[in-house]
């Protein structure tokens, strides 16, 4: 297939996944701010939302303060922010239009329908209730896109590149969520195990739809190292780094065997997966969770670049 | 202005045979049926994303072309004559272009004035003496046809460069079958959905002789921002070929390759929907970012087929148009089956004098214009517009031709007040391959949605209809 087509599919999937991630962050933040102020103390959830979205730099170039209004606008609706939810959907649709022929009717419907619906929301919601509905809708749109791709696409390179886009973005997102909360939570001297700590860890899990899974897997109250274990090492957890890399390796292998040739992407991906498989939680915490995550994000970026060089240009 | 011929109700108000079932059906249905299905059709179009862009309209980056749910119907015998006439005309176009870039017999014989060819901006000196695969220049032609009475069809314009609109022909049919199954069961409508197959067969047949048994055909588009992008992606999809942009292609040693995830892949035939000017910045406009550097050299070396060929504009220019009847006679030795609209060439003194005297009655067109831009419709224009046009015409008469204001035929059309006659034209598509000419019965019917309007161009608010050719 054309390199440009593969690139478009890969980016399209990334943007849709990213829109969903932003909606999850905003939802979690909304929930965190519902904690009574005297419990929450001085913490600033909106600041952490911006950091988790990975766009603190761009944000503070426009705004002085991270409050509900500014952050909501910037992450969800701003046209100045190239990775606001709205921009993500816009770019996704432009990509989709450019590869109309590679999409199934259902996928096009999902992405075009989302884009048409987006216009209804205009520059923002009129109430908190409407904003909550909007965030649900964003996640449902992503689910619909994902589901129609899964159900209707031929299992060939077009499908594999689409999946790669999703898993690379998802791995990056999960890592960022863990990292920022690590900063936010662990330095607290006395609150570990306290109500705020509990709420914040619950919000993290909720933001990746993993709160219920946590209880099923560990059957105990929320512990930071167990949350990290779930989101980093548990292959059965669909958003965990291990699960993302299991998929990345698999789809790269599919591409490699269809094309009859393996390359640097395949080797790099297997290397990262092996490192995850050989890691233990106590080791990660001993060497520093933050360092581990930073290294992972760098690796994840590197594999993105390698895939681009090998296939997409 | 003469009274228009209505294709359903004829000149005398008696329903014409081809429309008898439609007319009966229209009188049977509840009045809100049409309105309801009209809205349904719009929803479907919007959902599929069949849109087009209008240049110069910032707020309307993607617009729907209005679709009228009442079909336009042609009898088998009417189509048979049209099809013969179209094949003849396109054959003549091909021979004429080959001659212009080759022996130039028609110029020496005085059939077409030399300056009209050589001073024409669309004449491509690069094509002089250049062989093209299988001597075919116009692989895809769109011939615009209007009707003025029961028996008279005129060719209004030949489109020999990159004619568009065929996706509407196909989608309109698709939607009609979905929305009006009962109407189809009352007619024997010849299908059009084989068009993409016919197009692909045509394109494969014109691959260079050096190409492998199964040549690689691609469709080249200027990109998503082109007004016809939807059509490009639609056709590529239906043919199952790659939709490429200039940046997807690369030329090495005069051979064209496309960049794929598995490395470079050789390309044999390019169905290009991008103008000559933009295909190769090394040969034509150096500022073109849409083209492929070196494409022209690969073409000239005979390693790739471009469809349509470079330089075909020399055949569909409005000034050349008026010579078409003579061109047909000269190259084929036959009488033209399809007539031209009577045309005054303002380049000729006596013609110009007549035109200046009768501006209020005539349609005056710019020779190089298209899309309905830059034309004067005398009967519809006010005094100031006519005066302004008169001075434009006097200062550069060569740039204009004039035609009588034709009473284009009308078809019943859904408008806000119910059914009303609206003017229509027809663009059939003629495919010329190495083996034969292929024409899918029908074409794109364009309809002027405003009462009395003669302008059917989509850029100016025209709509489309499904075109039915009944089986004999």
Mean pLDDT of chain A: 88
A161: chain B residues, CB-CB within 8 Å: 261
CB contact under 8 A, B46 and A116: yes
State the nearest Cα–Cα gap between A136 and chain B, in angstroms: 22
CB contact under 8 A, B261 and A255: yes
A interface residues, B as partner, C-beta within 8 Å? 1-6, 94, 97-98, 100-101, 108-109, 112-113, 116, 157, 161, 255, 259, 311-313
What pLDDT was estimated at residue A35? 67
Compare CB distances from B224 to A97, A112, A157 and report the shortest one's residue: A97
State the SS3 of chain B.
CCCCCECCCECCCCCCHHHHHHHHHHHHCCCHHHHHHHHHHHHHHHHHCCCECCCCCCCCCCECCCEEEEEEEECHHHHHHHHHHHHHHHHHHHHHHHHHCCCCHHHHCCCCCHHHHHCCCCCCHHHCCCCCHHHCCCCEEEEEEEECCCCCEEEEEEECCCCCCHHHHHHHHHHHHHHCHHHHHCCCECCCCCHHHHHHHHHHHCCCCCCCCCCCEEEECCCCCCCCHHHHHHHHHHHCCEEECHHHEEEECCEEEEEECCEEEECCEEEECCCHHHHCCCCCCCCCCCCCCCHHHHHHCCCCEEECCCCCHHHHCHHHHCCHHHHHHHHHCCCCCCEECCCEECCCHHHHHHHHHCHHHEEEEECCCCCCCCCEEHHHCCHHHHHHHHHHHHHCHHHEEEEECCCCCEEEEEECCEEEEEEEEEECEEEECCCCEEECCCCEEEECCCCCCCCCCHHHCCEEEEEEEECC
Compare CB distances from B261 to A6, A98, A109 and report the shortest one's residue: A6
**pLDDT band at A48; cut points 50, 70, 90:** confident
CB contact under 8 A, A6 and B259: no
What pLDDT was estimated at residue B370? 61
What pLDDT was estimated at residue A166? 96
CB contact under 8 A, A4 and B223: no
- Compute the average pLDDT of residues A2-16: 96
CB contact under 8 A, B260 and A2: yes
**pLDDT band at A91; cut points 50, 70, 90:** very high
Question: How many interface pairs between A and B have CB atoms less than 8 angstroms apart?
Answer: 52
Tens-level pLDDT at each residue, chain B (472 residues): 567 899 999 988 899 999 999 999 999 998 888 888 988 888 887 776 665 554 444 444 566 788 999 999 999 999 999 999 999 999 999 999 999 999 999 999 999 999 999 988 899 999 999 999 999 999 999 999 999 999 999 999 999 999 999 999 999 999 999 999 999 999 999 999 999 999 999 999 999 998 888 999 999 999 988 888 889 999 998 999 999 999 999 999 999 999 999 999 999 999 999 999 999 999 998 888 899 999 999 999 999 999 999 999 999 888 889 999 999 999 999 999 999 999 999 989 999 999 999 999 999 988 876 656 678 888 888 999 999 999 999 999 988 999 998 889 999 999 888 899 999 999 999 999 999 999 999 999 999 988 888 778 777 778 999 999 999 8
State the nearest Cα–Cα gap between B328 and chain A, in angstroms: 40
State the nearest Cα–Cα gap between A94 and chain B, in angstroms: 8
What are A183-227's pLDDT values in tens digits?
554 444 445 556 667 777 888 888 888 888 999 999 988 888 899
B234: chain A residues, CB-CB within 8 Å: 100
> What's the predicted TM-score (pTM) here?
0.85
The ipTM is 0.80
Q: Which residue of A has its CA nearest to B246?
A: A4
Compare CB distances from B233 to A100, A161, A255 and report the shortest one's residue: A100
What pLDDT was estimated at residue A289? 86
């Amino acid at each position: 297939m054309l390199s440009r087509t593969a690139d478009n599919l890969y980016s399209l999937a990334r943007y849709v996944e990213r829109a969903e991630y932003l909606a999850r962050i905003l939802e979690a933040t909304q929930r965190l701010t519902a904690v009574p102020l005297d419990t929450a103390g001085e913490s600033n959830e909106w600041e952490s939302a911006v950091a988790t979205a990975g766009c603190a730099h761009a944000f503070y170039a426009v705004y002085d303060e991270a409050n509900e209004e500014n952050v909501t606008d910037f992450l969800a609706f701003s046209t100045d922010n190239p990775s606001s939810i709205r921009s993500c959907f816009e770019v996704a649709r432009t990509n989709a239009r450019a590869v109309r022929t590679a999409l199934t009717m259902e996928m096009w419907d999902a992405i075009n329908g989302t884009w048409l619906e987006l216009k209804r929301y205009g520059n923002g919601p009129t109430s908190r209730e409407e904003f909550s509905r909007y965030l649900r809708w964003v996640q449902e749109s992503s689910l619909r896109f994902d589901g129609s791709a899964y159900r209707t696409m031929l299992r060939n390179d077009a499908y594999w590149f689409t999946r790669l886009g999703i898993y690379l973005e998802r791995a990056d997102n999960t890592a960022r969520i863990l990292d920022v909360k690590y900063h936010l939570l662990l330095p607290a001297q006395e609150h570990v195990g306290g109500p705020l700590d509990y709420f914040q860890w619950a919000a993290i899990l909720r933001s990746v739809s993993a709160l219920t899974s946590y209880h099923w897997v560990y059957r105990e109250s929320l512990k930071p190292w167990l949350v990290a274990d779930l989101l980093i090492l548990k292959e059965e957890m669909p958003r965990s780094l291990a699960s993302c890399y299991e998929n990345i390796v698999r789809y790269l292998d599919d591409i490699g065997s269809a094309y009859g040739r393996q390359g640097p992407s395949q080797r790099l991906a297997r290397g990262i997966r092996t490192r995850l498989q050989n890691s233990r939680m106590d080791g990660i915490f001993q060497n520093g969770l933050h360092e581990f995550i930073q290294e992972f994000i760098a690796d994840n970026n590197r594999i993105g670049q390698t895939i681009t060089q090998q296939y997409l240009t | 202005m003469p009274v228009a011929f209505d294709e359903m109700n004829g000149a005398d108000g008696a329903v014409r045979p081809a429309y008898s079932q439609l007319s009966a059906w229209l009188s049977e249905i509840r009045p809100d049926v049409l309105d309801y299905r009209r809205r349904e059709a719009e929803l479907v179009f919007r959902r599929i994303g069949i849109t087009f862009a209008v240049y110069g309209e910032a707020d309307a980056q993607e617009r729907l072309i209005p679709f009228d749910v009442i079909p336009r119907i042609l009898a088998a015998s009417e189509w048979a004559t049209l099809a013969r006439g179209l094949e003849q005309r396109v054959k003549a176009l091909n021979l004429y272009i080959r001659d212009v870039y080759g022996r130039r017999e028609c110029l020496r014989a005085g059939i077409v004035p030399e300056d009209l060819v050589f001073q024409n901006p669309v004449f491509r000196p690069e094509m002089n003496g250049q062989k093209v695969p299988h001597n075919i220049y116009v692989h895809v032609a769109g011939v615009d046809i209007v009707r003025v009475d029961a028996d008279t069809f005129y060719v209004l314009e030949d489109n020999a460069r990159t004619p568009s609109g065929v996706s509407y022909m196909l989608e309109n049919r698709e939607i009609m079958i979905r929305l009006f199954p009962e109407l189809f069961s009352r007619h024997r409508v010849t299908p059009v959905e084989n068009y993409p197959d016919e197009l692909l067969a045509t394109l494969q047949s014109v691959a260079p002789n050096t190409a492998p048994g199964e040549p690689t055909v691609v469709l080249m588009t200027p990109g998503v921002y082109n007004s016809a992008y939807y059509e490009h992606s639609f056709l590529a999809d239906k043919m199952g070929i790659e939709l490429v942009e200039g940046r997807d292609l690369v030329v090495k040693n005069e051979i064209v390759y496309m960049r794929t995830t598995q490395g470079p892949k050789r390309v044999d035939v390019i169905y290009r929907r991008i103008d000559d000017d933009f295909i190769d910045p090394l040969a034509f406009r150096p500022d073109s970012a849409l083209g492929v550097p070196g494409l022209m050299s690969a073409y000239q070396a005979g390693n790739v087929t471009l469809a349509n060929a470079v330089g075909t504009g020399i055949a569909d220019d409005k000034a050349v148009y008026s010579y078409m009847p003579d061109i047909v006679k000269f190259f084929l030795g036959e009488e033209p089956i399809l007539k031209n609209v009577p045309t005054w060439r303002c380049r000729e003194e006596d013609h110009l004098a007549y035109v200046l005297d009768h501006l209020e009655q005539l349609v005056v067109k710019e020779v190089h214009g298209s899309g309905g831009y830059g034309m004067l419709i005398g009967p519809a224009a006010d005094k100031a517009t006519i005066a302004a046009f008169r001075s434009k015409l006097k200062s550069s008469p060569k740039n204009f031709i004039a035609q009588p204001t034709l009473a284009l035929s009308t078809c019943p059309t859904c408008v806000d007040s119910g059914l009303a006659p609206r003017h229509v034209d027809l663009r059939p598509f003629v495919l010329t391959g190495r083996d034969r000419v292929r024409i899918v019965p029908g074409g794109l019917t364009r309809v002027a949605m405003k009462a009395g309007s003669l302008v059917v161009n989509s850029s100016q608010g025209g709509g489309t209809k499904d075109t039915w050719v009944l089986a004999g």
